């Protein structure tokens, strides 16, 4: 089946540092979505990307749809304590025959040290 | 109204009980989803409803029975569950089933089966 490789699996950073995480696949994707999930809550959509090369920002967050269409990254600048959570990438592979399904990466768990 | 709501927030049930999870959205979205999420894992798709009709069943056991009474409501009926069914159950919706677009998640129902 389709797989998304998300890395790193977890990160421990100091407050104020920048963060970078990414997702890669062996397949071409039409859409990349980045979600954040906090304990006991549902995933919250951060950024949606629809075109190869697209670079989109949402406050301190920036995400890009890779030119090869097989990867995407999410950057967080100047991290703050409320950035703690699990970040999931998700996407729709080009060769998936249904438009109403997406697949998820395994998540990057972000920890911020005091 | 730009959110997906779910009730109850928490549910504890025995293996012989019958209970239902409820999900509601008033964004005019025509695709609705049930996901199951175990701790530290990404959401796993269970069911998709497109235009109030079941369009995807990801080989879910029959002890889970979805229902879509109208375009705003989605239920998940539970009967004779097993302890391994304990998880966070997430509802999501997206605007159109016929093209890839963002899925918006509710806060989830934390289910414990004793």
CA distance A93 to chain B (A): 10
pLDDT tens digits, B33-52: 999 999 989 999 999 999 99
Q: Is the pLDDT of residue A101 over 90?
A: no
- Greater pLDDT, A2 or A38: A38
pLDDT tens digits, A31-43: 999 999 999 899 9
Residue B94: predicted pLDDT: 93
Judge: A99–B98 Cβ closer than 8 Å, yes or no.
yes
For the beta sheet containing A61-65, the strands, ordered from the edge strand earlier in sequence to the opposite edge, are A5-7, A19-24, A71-76, A61-65, A55-58
Q: What is the mean pLDDT of residues B57-69?
A: 95
Judge: A42–B31 Cβ closer than 8 Å, yes or no.
no
d(CA A20, CA A75): 4
d(CA A83, CA A75): 12
Judge: B105–A42 Cβ closer than 8 Å, yes or no.
yes
> Please, are residues A61 and A76 in contact by the beta-carbon 8 Å criterion?
yes
Residues written for chain B = 114
Judge: A99–B55 Cβ closer than 8 Å, yes or no.
no
User: What confidence tier does B103 reach under pLDDT thresholds 50, 70, 90?
Assistant: very high
Report the SS3 class of residue B41: coil
Query: Which residues of A lie closer than 8 Å to B, measured between beta carbons?
Result: 30-31, 33, 35, 40-45, 48, 86, 88, 90, 92, 98-102, 104-107, 109
In chain B, what residues touch A107 (CB-CB under 8 Å)?
40-42
Q: What is the mean pLDDT of residues A74-95?
A: 95
């Amino acid at each position: 089946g389709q797989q998304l490789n998300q890395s790193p699996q977890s990160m421990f950073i100091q407050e104020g540092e920048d963060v970078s995480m990414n997702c890669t696949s062996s397949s071409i994707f039409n859409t990349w979505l980045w979600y954040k999930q906090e304990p006991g809550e549902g995933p919250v959509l951060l950024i949606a990307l629809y075109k190869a090369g697209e670079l989109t920002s949402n406050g301190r967050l920036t995400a890009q749809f890779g030119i090869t269409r097989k990867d995407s990254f999410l950057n967080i600048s100047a991290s703050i304590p409320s950035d703690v959570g699990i970040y999931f990438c998700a996407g729709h592979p080009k060769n998936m025959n249904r438009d109403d399904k997406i697949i998820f990466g395994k998540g990057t768990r972000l920890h911020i040290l005091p | 109204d730009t959110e997906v709501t779910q009730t109850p927030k928490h549910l504890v049930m025995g293996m012989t009980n019958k209970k239902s999870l409820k999900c509601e959205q008033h964004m005019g979205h025509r695709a609705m989803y049930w996901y199951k999420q175990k701790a530290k894992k990404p959401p796993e798709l269970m069911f998709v409803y497109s235009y109030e009709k079941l369009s995807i069943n990801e080989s879910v056991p029959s002890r889970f029975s979805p229902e879509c009474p109208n375009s705003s409501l989605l239920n998940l009926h539970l009967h004779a569950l097993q302890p391994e069914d304990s998880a966070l159950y997430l509802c999501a919706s997206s605007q159109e089933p016929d093209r890839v677009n963002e899925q918006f998640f509710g806060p989830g129902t934390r289910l414990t089966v004793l």
